[in-house]
Amino acid sequence: MHQNPKDARRVVVKLGSNLFFSPDGELALDRIASLIEDIAAARLAGLQIITVSSGAVALGANALKMKPQSALLAQKQAFAAVGQSRLMSIYEQGFAKFGLTPAQILLTEEDFSNRKRYLNLRNTLLTLLEMGVIPVINENDTVSTSELEVTDRSASFSDNDKLSALVMSKLEAQLLVLLSDVDGLYTDNPHDNPDAKRIPQVQEITRDIEALAGRKSSRGRGGMTSKLQAAEIAMNSGGMAIIANGMKPGVLRRIFAGESEGTLFAGKSEALSGKRRWIAFASSVSGRIHINAGAMEAIARKNASLLFPGITRIESDFEPGDVVAIIGPEGSEMARGIANYSSADATKLMGKQSADIERLASTRNYDAFVTRDNIAFTSKNHE
């Protein structure tokens, strides 16, 4: 397990929207050029780097002399269409000075929630890295609304924070660097409390750590909450994450040299397997399965499969192979798993024994509703 950023060989660097502009709203070309120079230097030194870049909506709005914050959804999608080519032009010109080639990759939520597309994406990205290309990834805001809409759904990419973490997890990168306009995680909001202290390292994202997350940024759509969620995905994948200030010149050079910048989130010694990472983080949840205390104890403490006698209630329609949320007796999600039966069959079988499957189910699949290899815990209380 890698605990020092200097040891990372494959890195995902996420650039937030605020980095592209100065306080007066002008395009901050010098800052972006400096970040591109640091990324290029690291690539030429042997690191494999994937860049996840926000900024298309803001660049489009800037070009059209409109404000993105008050725009309608369709207008934001139009801003993205105008701004995405401008965004790639900045990267193409910047990397060309160092003899490097970027590749544009636009993704939607479905590219992750569909496991086949998820695996195809991995193959494409790994091939690009082998060719020495620097992938520049952004959410496809022109066709996807998950990031642009104000929503509480956890699947939203939130200014590319979660997107960057999923890419990092899928490629088994050792380090995720989240650059925005904040210096890291603080003991309190530094804008309100002058005594607030930067937290240099976090070993585990507890409820107390989550409580320290503040407000969203003005130009971007992410905030500290979405950055902590991204850092947690990185940690659960066995890697590290750093939240740092991209406004500070040379910040990436110092991070790659192993110097203390921002807040470092250390990786866990027991990382989730690739399939369980997809179940826990990347998949879309099709239904909710409520279970009793006995089933919760069996799957959480005894590594057992989820059997039908332990199911008390089923919500929503789903098919075999869909990912469902497993809800404990107290009403909160404890895990996710891949269903072996449809919601129609599961409704007939809940509370029943495995001997009843042949008689009640349209097709007999497994004795278990979710087999233990296809369960990934999402609650800290049940890991």
Q: Which domains does the chain have, with CATH numbers?
A: 5-276 (3.40.1160.10), 284-382 (2.30.130.10)
Residues 141, 188 contacting (CB under 8 angstroms): no
Cβ of 26: how many Cβ atoms within 10 Å? 10
Q: Give CA–CA dist 83/223, Å, rounded.
A: 22
Look at residue 358 in the predicted model and tell me its pLDDT: 85
> In angstroms, what CA-CA distances link 108 with 34, 97, 182, 231, 264?
29, 30, 27, 20, 28
> Beta strand pairing status for 175-180 and 375-377?
unpaired
Kind and range of the H or E run holding 61 = helix 56-63
Q: Give CA–CA dist 188/169, Å, rounded.
A: 29
Residues 15, 179 contacting (CB under 8 angstroms): yes
Q: CA-CA-CA-CA torsion for 214, 217, 220, 224, nearest 10 degrees?
A: -20
Look at residue 217 in the predicted model and tell me its pLDDT: 45
Sign for the pseudo-dihedral over CA of 105, 111, 11, 51: positive
* Lateral strand order in the sheet of 311-315: 311-315, 285-291, 323-327, 333-338, 375-377
CA proximity to 144, closest of 129, 155, 128 = 155
Burial (Cβ within 10 Å: 0-12, 13-18, ≥19) of residue 208? exposed
The strand ranges marked E within 120-221 are 134-139, 175-180, 201-202
| pLDDT tens, N- to C-terminus, the chain (383 residues) | 447 899 999 999 999 988 998 888 888 999 999 999 999 999 999 999 999 998 898 899 999 999 877 788 889 899 999 999 999 999 999 999 999 999 999 988 778 777 788 889 989 999 999 999 999 999 887 776 555 554 333 344 556 898 999 899 888 899 999 999 889 999 988 878 889 999 999 998 888 888 888 644 444 445 888 899 899 989 988 899 999 999 999 999 999 999 999 999 997 766 777 788 888 887 679 999 999 999 999 999 999 999 999 999 999 999 998 899 999 999 999 999 999 999 999 999 999 998 889 888 888 878 999 999 999 998 765 55
DSSP state of 216: B
Quote the pTM value: 0.80
Kind and range of the H or E run holding 19 = none
Q: Give CA–CA dist 266/48, Å, rounded.
A: 20
Token pair listed for 347:
């409704």
Which residues 6+ apart lie within 8 Å of 174 measured at CB?
A: 2, 7, 8, 9, 10, 11, 239, 240, 267
Q: Give CA–CA dist 291/210, Å, rounded.
A: 27
